[in-house]
Every structure is written in C-alpha cells, then in structure tokens.
Amino acid sequence: MNGTDLILEVAGADNAKISRIGLGIDATYGVKAVQQKLDRLGSDVEAGKGGEIKYYVSADGKERRKLSGVPHLIVGLSVARAREVAQLWRRAEEKESTTFPPEAHPLRSLILQQLVMQTGALGALARKRGNTELAERYEAACAQLRPIYDQATSAYLKVAALAKEKPWKDILDQDYRRDPVHEAILLRTQSWRKMVDAR
C-alpha cells in the first residue's frame, strides 16, 4: 500500500476479531507533508477506497495473502519527539532503571490518540459516503484501539501522580500535545468530523 510503513494488527477482547491497520509513519520538521498525506487519505475514504496490501504476511508468519479495504492512518511526530521515542526504546532495551516506564510515557497516549481519533472520524466519513464495509473496518479498529488508549492515558496519569522528582520531572513538565505534527493531525481529523456533521 502506498504510504504504508507497517501494518498494525489489533486483536479484540476475545482475540477472535483482528483489525489490520496500515500506518504511515512520519517524523518531520514541518507539517506540510503530513497535511498532504492526510488530504490524500481523506479523499481516498470519501471515494470509498481502503488500502491494499499486495504482500501481507501475518505476525506469526502463518498467513500470506493480498489484503484489500484495509483502514489506513497517518501517525506523526516532530523530529524532536521521534528522537525521544527512539531514546525511550533504546533505554527500555537496555533496561535502564531511571527511564520513564514505556507503557506510561505520554508519547504513547499521544500516538494512540491520533489513531483513535482518525479511525473514528474516517469511519464516520466512510459511513456518510455510503461505504458500509470500509466504515465498519474503521469503526472496529476504533473500538479495539480505544481501550488501549484509555489504558495508556490511565498509566501515564498514575505515574505522573507519583513521580514528581528527577529524572522523570523533565518528561512530566513537557506539553507533548503541542507537537506541531500532532496538532496538524488532530486538526485534519476535526475537519473530517465537521464534514460529516455538515452533510
């Protein structure tokens, strides 16, 4: 699928229903490239086009096939925030005890917020355009991502309430929501919602 860097598989509560989501990952100094990708994504959904993956291989390697009608989303952060994510992964791999717990890091909530908001808005847009099948795929993905987002936000709030001292204080003092790429994604998502509400 053009613009897709990885496939996210999200299992439902009973592990029976798996949603596959194509993700475009962007780390950028500016928001123009991300806005262009989001415009293209919105146009595709309005036209009833989901993503197509020619050479899909499941995480366990048991399933190999072509997928079509896959929900596609854009995840983005500024370069500075992307570097923080890379450092977080490195520290987690090295098991540094002074690192902020990855499951509670505010960037995790930020990225999940992008996914939840996009799946909800694009599902509503597809439904408004009469594409029930694509709408249901976005809606199913949203329903599966929402509890993960809620859990990440809750974990962050618990850690934030307990950890006011260094070295975590620097992380807690930053307003990650002010990331310009994140803001651009949320603004475009809100514009899709307004399109749905206006028609």
* HEC-encoded secondary structure of 13-66: CCCCCEEEEEEEEEEECCCHHHHHHHHHHHHHHHCCCCEEEEEEECCCCCCEEE
| Per-residue pLDDT, 31 | 85
Domain for residue 27, yes or no?
Answer: yes
Domain for residue 1, yes or no?
Answer: no
Domain for residue 22, yes or no?
Answer: yes
Residue keyed to tokens 């366990």: 60
With 0-12 / 13-18 / 19 or more C-beta atoms within 10 angstroms meaning exposed / middle / buried, residue 3 is: middle
Q: Give the structural domain span for 116.
A: 6-198
| Per-residue pLDDT, 1 | 46
With 0-12 / 13-18 / 19 or more C-beta atoms within 10 angstroms meaning exposed / middle / buried, residue 18 is: middle
Domain for residue 155, yes or no?
Answer: yes
Domain for residue 82, yes or no?
Answer: yes
| Per-residue pLDDT, 22 | 77
pTM here is 0.83
pLDDT per residue as tens, the chain (199 positions): 456 777 777 776 666 666 777 776 655 667 888 899 899 999 999 999 988 888 888 778 888 888 888 888 988 888 887 787 777 667 666 766 556 677 777 888 888 999 999 999 999 999 999 999 999 999 998 998 999 999 988 888 887 777 665 555 556 556 677 888 989 999 999 999 998 988 6
Domain for residue 162, yes or no?
Answer: yes
| Per-residue pLDDT, 29 | 62
Fill in the amino acid letter for 29.
Answer: Y
Q: Give how many domains the chain has, as a whole number.
A: 1
The Cβ-side half-sphere exposure at 96, using a 13 Å CA radius, reads 12
